[in-house]
Structures are given as C-alpha cells and as structure tokens.
C-alpha cells in the first residue's frame, strides 16, 4: 500500500479560490499548542494583534509591537502544517507609506514564515495593498470596525449602519480591487455584510457580521470561554474553559493547603523496591 500524500499547507491563492464555496474557518492562535489545535480544524490561523489584549493585558491593540508579532508568529508557524498562517501588521508599521509597509510586511513574513499579512483600512489603504501585492506580499484586508482606529471611531461600535453603509461598501470594494485575497468584515450589519459578499470577488470573513459571509473568524480565547467576564454579542461560546480552569486551580490550591497533594503516587521513594 502506498503512503498517503503529504498534507500541503494552504496558500493565499487557495483561500481566494474558495469564494462562494465551502465556508472558510478561521480562528486566532498565539502559541504553538493552540496553533496545533486550530490547524487540525481550520483553514486559516490568524496571529492577531489581539494578542496584546488577550495575552499581554494591554487595554487595546495600539501598544502591540513588531517584536511581539514576530515572537508569537514564529510560535504559531511551528504549530501548523495545513492552515494558512496570516499575521497582523501592528499599529504604526504600515500607515506611513507603502514603502514602510513593504519593509515591515517582508520582515514579518521572513522572520516568522507566515504565508500572508493582514492590515486594517479600506479606501485609504488601497494603494498600500496594491504596492504589497505587486511585490509578492499576500494581503488580507480588514474593514468595518478596525480596532487600531478605535480612538478615532469613538469605541468598538458597529460600522455601516444607515448612511455609513456606503463608506464600508466602498472600503470593501477598494481593497478587493487593490488585490487583497480576502477581507475581514468586523461588526458590520447582517444585510450589509451579505451585500458586500455579493459585490466583491474575494472571500469575506465575518466577525460580528453575517452567516452569509464566505467564512468566519473569532478570537480563540473568546469562543473557548477563557474570559469569564467578557461576553460580546457576536461571540458564541463553544466551551467554558475559563470556569473549568478556575475550578481546577481552586481544587489544586485547596489540596496543597491541606497537604493532600502531592500524594504517595506523586512522589519518589527513598529506596527502590527490590524486584522479586
């Protein structure tokens, strides 16, 4: 019997070709163990700059650095063999000029081994996306709520309601025409998300958007319920690991204080028993 063919890691072109096909599955990943779990089930593993808030306790993504993204990007790449690894460009690493964006995107890909980068912004970032794609950098775009612009947006608000819908539609069309291989729609109303999905030739990946998008992404820690006090409307909890972890740590603490752990089976005897 011949050996099975090795699994080929997905590339940006494979994701783009899924437009209108089977829904794309994406989750964030920041560490090697979690990347292995994500890789087993997902098409894309996103090394999101959300790691600043999720892992480092920052109040927003604004303080995330290139060094942080590279460190976690390397860890995620080590844990994947199938999913396309996309790495976020942090705030301040690409907005100044297309040339600045290329230097930093090239560094992220070269030092981590990720297969693509993601950057936020629509019409205003189209020139930069075109510049990157033309020089061999696959780009996932991100429109709607763009967390790096939270200070100008006035908070984490839904984008694209009423008269604002035209702006979000224009942003999505601009990044698609500029050469992005897919676009994240964050906190965009259901109907508008569906219209954008029909209007652009690249896959849309929703987060707080619509089931009509070409795929979905969530922050892994959110959908696992690792944060017991964070319950945004658009996140369905597929687990309650935070509560389970709290109970396990409490049980451990109780046993340590009662000196019932470690028990006899967890320690090493002074003398080995002689074999019969």
Pairing relationship of beta strands 24-28 and 215-218 according to DSSP bridges: parallel
Q: What is the pTM of this model?
A: 0.94
Q: In whole angstroms, what is the distance from residue 108 CA to residue 240 CA?
A: 33
What pLDDT band is residue 227 in, cutting at 50, 70 and 90? confident
The response to whether 120 counts as a known ligand-binding position is: yes
Give the CA angle between residues 236, 33, 263 to the nearest 5°: 100
- What's the full length of the chain, in residues? 276
166 is catalytic: no
Confidence at residue 1, expressed as pLDDT on a 0 to 100 scale: 43
Among 26, 61, 227, 27, smallest CA distance to 156 is for 61
Residue-wise pLDDT for 27-41, tens only, equals: 999 999 999 999 999
CB atoms within 10 A of CB 276: 3
Sequence-ordered list of residues with C-beta below 8 angstroms from that of 266, at least 6 positions apart, any chain:
none
Residue-wise pLDDT for 168-218, tens only, equals: 999 999 999 999 999 999 999 999 999 999 999 999 999 999 999 999 999
pLDDT of 4 strictly over 90 = no
Sign, Cα dihedral of 122, 111, 67, 77: positive
Residue-wise pLDDT for 128-168, tens only, equals: 999 999 999 999 999 999 999 999 988 889 999 999 999 99
Of the residues 67, 96, 111, 186, only one is catalytic, namely 186
Confidence at residue 192, expressed as pLDDT on a 0 to 100 scale: 98
Q: In whole angstroms, what is the distance from residue 114 CA to residue 100 CA?
A: 19
| Residue 89 burial (10 A CB sphere; 0-12, 13-18, 19+) | buried
Residue-wise pLDDT for 48-90, tens only, equals: 999 999 999 999 999 999 999 999 999 999 999 999 999 999 9
The response to whether 49 counts as a known ligand-binding position is: yes
Confidence at residue 257, expressed as pLDDT on a 0 to 100 scale: 98
Tell me how far the alpha carbon of residue 15 is from its chain's centroid: 15
* Longest CA–CA separation in the chain, Å: 85
Confidence at residue 231, expressed as pLDDT on a 0 to 100 scale: 82
Phi, psi of 211 (to 5 degrees): -65, -15
Q: How many CA atoms lie within 13 A of 171 on its CB side?
A: 27
Per the CB < 8 A criterion, the answer to whether 38 and 84 are in contact is no
Spell out the domain ranges in the chain.
Answer: 12-240
The response to whether 88 counts as a known ligand-binding position is: yes
Residue-wise pLDDT for 211-221, tens only, equals: 999 999 999 99
What pLDDT band is residue 272 in, cutting at 50, 70 and 90? confident
Give domain 12-240's CATH number out of 1.20.1250.20, 3.20.20.60, 3.40.50.720, 3.30.390.50: 3.20.20.60
Residue-wise pLDDT for 235-263, tens only, equals: 999 999 999 999 999 999 999 999 999 99
């Amino acid at each position: 019997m011949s050996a099975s063919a090795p699994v080929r890691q997905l590339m940006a072109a494979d994701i783009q070709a899924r437009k209108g096909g089977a829904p794309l599955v994406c989750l964030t990943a920041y560490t090697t163990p979690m990347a292995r779990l994500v890789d087993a089930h997902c098409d894309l593993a996103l090394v999101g700059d959300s790691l600043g808030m999720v892992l480092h306790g920052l109040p927003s993504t604004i303080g995330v650095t290139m060094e942080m993204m590279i460190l976690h990007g390397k860890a995620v790449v080590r844990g994947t063999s199938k999913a396309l690894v996309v790495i976020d460009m942090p705030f301040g690493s690409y907005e100044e000029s297309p040339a600045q964006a290329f230097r930093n995107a090239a560094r992220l890909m070269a030092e981590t081994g990720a297969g693509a980068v993601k950057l936020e912004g629509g019409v205003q970032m189209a020139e930069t996306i075109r510049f990157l794609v033309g020089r061999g950098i696959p780009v996932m775009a991100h429109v709607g709520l763009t967390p790096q612009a939270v200070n100008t947006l006035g908070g984490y608000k839904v984008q694209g309601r009423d008269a604002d819908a035209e702006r979000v539609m224009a942003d999505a069309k601009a990044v698609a025409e500029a050469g992005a291989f897919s676009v994240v729609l964050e906190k965009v109303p259901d109907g508008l998300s569906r219209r954008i999905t029909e209007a652009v030739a690249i896959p849309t990946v929703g987060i707080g958007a619509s089931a009509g998008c070409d795929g979905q992404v969530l922050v892994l820690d959110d959908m696992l319920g690792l944060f017991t006090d964070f319950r945004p409307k658009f996140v369905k909890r597929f687990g309650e690991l935070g509560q389970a972890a709290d109970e396990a740590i409490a049980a451990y603490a109780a046993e340590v204080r009662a000196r019932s752990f470690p028990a006899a089976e967890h320690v090493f005897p002074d003398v080995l028993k002689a074999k019969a």
